[in-house]
Structure 1
Amino acid sequence: MHVKFDEFEEQPTSTIIDEEEDIPFGSKDHDIEPESTPQVPPKTWKKVNYHPQELIIGNTEDGIKTRRSLQSTENLLRMISQIEPRNIEEAIIDESWVKSMKEELLQFEKNEVWELVPPPQDHSIIGTRWVFRNKLDESGKISCNKARLVAQGYNQQEGIDYEETYAPVASAFLNGFLNEEVYVHQPPGFVDQHKPNHVFKLTKALYGLKQAPRA
C-alpha cells in the first residue's frame, strides 16, 4: 500500500511585537515633563533723591526733553517765518503766513462774523487790510506768525455808518454784535473767484472798526 503524504507549504510566521515593551519608559507624551524655566532674579532699583549740581548737564529749570519733543520743536520752528511781511504781496508767497491768514479767516467762519452778499446800493464799503506780526516768547524768540485782518474804519462817516465811536467798556467786546449794517471788501489775496464783486456784511465788529472796543 502506497501512502502519499501531502507536503505542507511552509507558512510564513509573523512576529508580534509588544509595543508597550518597545517604547522606553517615560517617553510618552503625557510622561514628558516640560523643561524648567531658569529663574531670573528680580531687578532692584535704587532711588537717588539728590544729584550734585556739578554732575547735572544743562539747565535744570527746562525740565526733561525727549528726542521726540525736540524733533517736534524743530519741525515747528521750520514752519515759522522769521520775516515779518510789509504787505500782502510779500505774505502771499510765504507758506507760513498763508497758513496764518487762513487760520484767521477760519475763525471768522466759526464765529459767524460775516456773510458774503451782493454789494448794497445805499451803503459805503469799508476796505480791509492784513496786519502781520511775529509773536515772541519769553526768551525773545519768534514763537508764531500772527496775521490779523482789520477794517479800515477811518472810511466810515459819523452818523451814517456808526452811531458812536466806542461802545461802553462794560458791554463792548471784540467781535461783539453790531446794531447797524456794515459792509467790508473781501480780504486781499482771498477774493472769491466765483463772486469777485460780492462784499461781506458784518454781523460782528471787526478789528479797526470804530464800533470795536479800544485795545
Structure 2
Amino acid sequence: MAVFRPDDDRLAAARSLLADLGAEAVPDPMLAVEPTGERPREADYVVFTSKTGAELAADADWEPGAATVVAIGPKTADALEAAGYAVDLVPDAFSSTGLVDLLAPRVGAATVEVARSDHGSPVLLDGLRDAGAAVHETVLYRLVRPEGAGESATLAADGALDAACFTSSLTVEHFLDAAAERGIRADAVGGLNAAVVGVIGEPTRETAEGEGIAVDVVPAEATFEALARETVARLDSR
C-alpha cells in the first residue's frame, strides 16, 4: 500500500500503523516542507491547519497573546499543546469546511489569522470573510515534491500496487507529476484504478476523480488512521 506522508515521524507512524493492520507500506513521500521563516500575526483568532504549521510557529517562538487558538484537528491540536500552547477550539469535521462551520458564527467583525502552507484551500479564507471577519493568511511553509519521488507510480503502472492512501490534493498532483516525468502517467492511473484508492476529504476526491482516478474510500473522519483502517478493510474485503 502506497503512502505519501512527509519523510518524518508521520511516515514512520504510517508504516507502523499499516504493519499493525497487516499491510505492507510502500513509503513514497510526495511532500517535503520548505519553511518560509514567517510567523503568525496577532489576531483575535489564530487558525492552524497542520501539525507542521504548529511546530514551525513554536520554532519561531510565536506568542498567542490573547488570541483564541484554533486547530483543524486532533493531530494539530496535539502538536500545539506539546509546544505549550492552549488550544481553544477544534471543529467536529477536520477540514476547511469544518473550520468555517465552527468559526462563522463567532468571528463577525473579528480579526482572523490563518497560518498554513502555500497550498491551503480558499474555502477557509472565503468562508471566514463571508462571515464578516478580517482575514489574513501567513504562509509558514511551502510544500514541494521531493527529488526521486515516484516509486509507487512505477509499481502502479506495473500492476504491482494493491492500494494507495492520498492525504491531500497535492499528493495526488505530485504522484501524477512523478508518473508523467517517468513517462507512465496513463499506466499509473490505470494501475490505481485496479487497486484500492483511499483519500482524505472531498477536495482530494474531486482532484483524484478529475484526473481519472477512481476513489474507493473517503473516511468520515479526516485522519490518516481512519483512512488507513478503511482502505485496508476495503482491500481485505475484495
Scaled to the shorter chain, the TM-score interval is under 0.3
TM-score, reference length from structure 1 = 0.17
TM-score, reference length from structure 2 = 0.16
Q: Which structure has the highest helix share of the two?
A: 2
- Greater C-alpha Rg: 1
